[in-house]
Structure 1
Amino acid sequence: MSFPYQITPKGAGLPPLPLVAVTTIVAYDLNDSIQELHGKTTRMNVLHWFRHAFGISSTDGIYGPGEPPFQRDPKVEAGFWAFDDSISDLLISPITRLTCPFGHKGRADAWAGFEKYFANGDHEQGSDLTKARYKTAADLGMNNLDIAKLEVTMIIGILTNTVPTIFWAVYYVYRDPSLLEKLRQEIAAVAIRGTDEKTGAPAWTLPTSALKEKCPLLTAVINETLRHRTCGISSRMVTEDCVLNNKYLLKKGTVCELPNNVLHSNEAYWGPTVNEFDPTRFLKDASSKEARMARGAFRPFGGGVSRCAGQYQAMSQMIGGLALLIMSNDCAPADGAEWKFPGAHGHTIAAAVDLPSSDLWLDVSSRKGYEDQTWKLDPKL
Structure 2
Amino acid sequence: MINMINMITTILYALLAVVSLAYLADYLLAWNDDPKEPPRLRARIPLIGHLIGIIVSGPSYHSVIRNDETTEIYTLGILNYKLYTSVSTRLLPLIQRQSRALSFRPMIQTVARKWGDANDETDRLFRETDLITEFSHVMKTSLAPGPQLDEMNMRMAQRVLVDLDLLLGDGKEKKIKLLEWARFAITQASSCGVYGNQHPFLDDKVYEAFWAWHAHLSAHISGINFDILSHGYHARAVVFAAHAKYCTSIPPDTSSLFLTRWQCLLSSGLSVSEASKQQATLPIGMLSNTVPTFFWTIYEIFSRPALLSSIRSEILTFAITTSGPRHILNLTNLKTSCPLLLSTFQETQRTRHIHAAIRKVTTNTLLDSGKVLLKEGNYLQMPGHAIHYSQSTYGPTARDFVPERFMDPNLKRGGADFLAWGAPPHLCPARQFAATEILILVAMLVVRTDIHPAEGTEWEEKPGLEFADPVTVLNPKRDVEVVVRVRGEKEGRWEVEMGDGSRASRVPLASG
TM-score over 0.5 (shorter chain): yes
Q: Deviations over 1:4-28 (max 9, x none)?
A: 343443xxxxx12111110110111
Is the 1:89–1:100 contact (alpha carbons within 8 Å) kept by the matching residues of 2? no
SS in 1 for 2:428: coil
SS in 2 for 1:166: helix
Deviation at 1:365, TM superposition (A): 1.1
C-alpha separation between the residues in 1 aligned to 2:338 and 2:474? 26
Is 1:126 the equivalent of 2:254?
A: yes
Q: Which runs of 5+ in 1 are unaligned?
A: 10-14, 197-202
- Match in the other structure for 1:339: 459
> What code does the residue aligned with 2:358 have?
S
C-alpha separation between the residues in 2 aligned to 1:354 and 1:7? 28
C-alpha separation between the residues in 2 aligned to 1:86 and 1:109? 14
TM-score, L = length of structure 1: 0.87
CA change 1:371–1:133 in 2 (3 A) is closer
Deviation at 1:237, TM superposition (A): 5.1
CA change 1:363–1:127 in 2 (3 A) is same
SS in 1 for 2:429: coil
Deviation at 1:3, TM superposition (A): 1.2
> What code does the residue aligned with 1:226 have?
Q
TM-score, L = length of structure 2: 0.66
CA change 1:256–1:187 in 2 (3 A) is same
- Match in the other structure for 1:19: 149
SS in 2 for 1:225: helix
Deviation at 1:89, TM superposition (A): 1.9
Give the counterpart of 1:284 among 402, 408, 413. 408
Is 1:297 the equivalent of 2:417?
A: yes
Deviation at 1:242, TM superposition (A): 3.1
Is the 1:193–1:204 contact (alpha carbons within 8 Å) kept by the matching residues of 2? yes
CA change 1:146–1:251 in 2 (3 A) is same
Q: How does 1:224-243 map to 2 (within 5 A)?
A: 224-236=347-359, 241-243=365-367
- Match in the other structure for 1:102: 231
Is 1:88 the equivalent of 2:218?
A: yes
Is the 2:315–2:334 contact (alpha carbons within 8 Å) kept by the matching residues of 1? yes
C-alpha separation between the residues in 1 aligned to 2:253 and 2:496? 24
Deviation at 1:372, TM superposition (A): 3.3
Is the 2:213–2:235 contact (alpha carbons within 8 Å) kept by the matching residues of 1? yes
Is the 1:231–1:346 contact (alpha carbons within 8 Å) kept by the matching residues of 2? no
C-alpha separation between the residues in 2 aligned to 1:259 and 1:5? 24
SS in 1 for 2:323: strand
C-alpha separation between the residues in 1 aligned to 2:415 and 2:253? 39
- Match in the other structure for 2:428: 308
> What code does the residue aligned with 2:204 have?
P
SS in 1 for 2:397: coil
SS in 2 for 1:343: coil
- Match in the other structure for 2:444: 324
Q: Deviations over 1:228-253 (max 9, x none)?
A: 1112121245666434499x512353
CA change 1:90–1:237 in 2 (3 A) is closer
C-alpha separation between the residues in 1 aligned to 2:413 and 2:329? 33
- Match in the other structure for 2:139: 4
My pick for the range that moved more, 83-92 or 313-322, is 83-92
> What code does the residue aligned with 1:178 have?
A
CA change 1:22–1:293 in 2 (3 A) is closer
My pick for the range that moved more, 267-276 or 55-64, is 267-276
C-alpha separation between the residues in 2 aligned to 1:273 and 1:211? 28
Q: Percent identity?
A: 27
Give the counterpart of 1:195 among 308, 324, 333. 324
Is the 2:333–2:499 contact (alpha carbons within 8 Å) kept by the matching residues of 1? no
Give the counterpart of 2:477 among 348, 357, 370. 357
C-alpha separation between the residues in 2 aligned to 1:34 and 1:205? 14
SS in 2 for 1:184: helix
C-alpha separation between the residues in 2 aligned to 1:324 and 1:33? 11
Give the counterpart of 1:180 among 296, 301, 308. 308
- Match in the other structure for 1:43: 175
Give the counterpart of 1:64 among 196, 202, 212. 196
CA change 1:299–1:135 in 2 (3 A) is same
Deviation at 1:165, TM superposition (A): 0.3
Q: How does 1:223-262 map to 2 (within 5 A)?
A: 223-236=346-359, 241-244=365-368, 249-251=372-374, 253=376, 255-262=379-386
> What code does the residue aligned with 2:182 have?
F
- Match in the other structure for 1:149: 277
Is the 1:240–1:251 contact (alpha carbons within 8 Å) kept by the matching residues of 2? yes
CA change 1:294–1:306 in 2 (3 A) is closer
Deviation at 1:347, TM superposition (A): 3.2
C-alpha separation between the residues in 2 aligned to 1:371 and 1:310? 31
C-alpha separation between the residues in 2 aligned to 1:154 and 1:293? 29
My pick for the range that moved more, 338-347 or 353-362, is 338-347
SS in 2 for 1:330: strand
Is 1:159 the equivalent of 2:287?
A: yes
Deviation at 1:373, TM superposition (A): 4.1
My pick for the range that moved more, 210-219 or 335-344, is 335-344
CA RMSD, aligned part only? Answer: 2.4
CA change 1:149–1:213 in 2 (3 A) is same
CA change 1:220–1:89 in 2 (3 A) is same
Aligned length: 359
> What code does the residue aligned with 1:80 have?
F
CA change 1:264–1:95 in 2 (3 A) is closer
C-alpha separation between the residues in 1 aligned to 2:212 and 2:453? 26
CA change 1:100–1:48 in 2 (3 A) is farther
**Structure whose CA Rg is larger:** 2
C-alpha separation between the residues in 1 aligned to 2:140 and 2:232? 33
Is the 2:139–2:261 contact (alpha carbons within 8 Å) kept by the matching residues of 1? no
Deviation at 1:275, TM superposition (A): 2.1
- Match in the other structure for 1:267: 391
Is the 2:469–2:475 contact (alpha carbons within 8 Å) kept by the matching residues of 1? no
C-alpha separation between the residues in 2 aligned to 1:131 and 1:174? 38
Q: Deviations over 1:202-249 (max 9, x none)?
A: x32110110110000111111011111112121245666434499x51
> What code does the residue aligned with 1:43 have?
K
> What code does the residue aligned with 2:465 have?
A
Give the counterpart of 1:348 among 436, 451, 469. 469
- Match in the other structure for 1:219: 342
- Match in the other structure for 1:12: none
Is the 1:41–1:366 contact (alpha carbons within 8 Å) kept by the matching residues of 2? yes
- Match in the other structure for 2:92: none
C-alpha separation between the residues in 2 aligned to 1:113 and 1:363? 35
CA change 1:295–1:183 in 2 (3 A) is farther
Is the 1:184–1:326 contact (alpha carbons within 8 Å) kept by the matching residues of 2? yes
Is the 1:18–1:128 contact (alpha carbons within 8 Å) kept by the matching residues of 2? yes
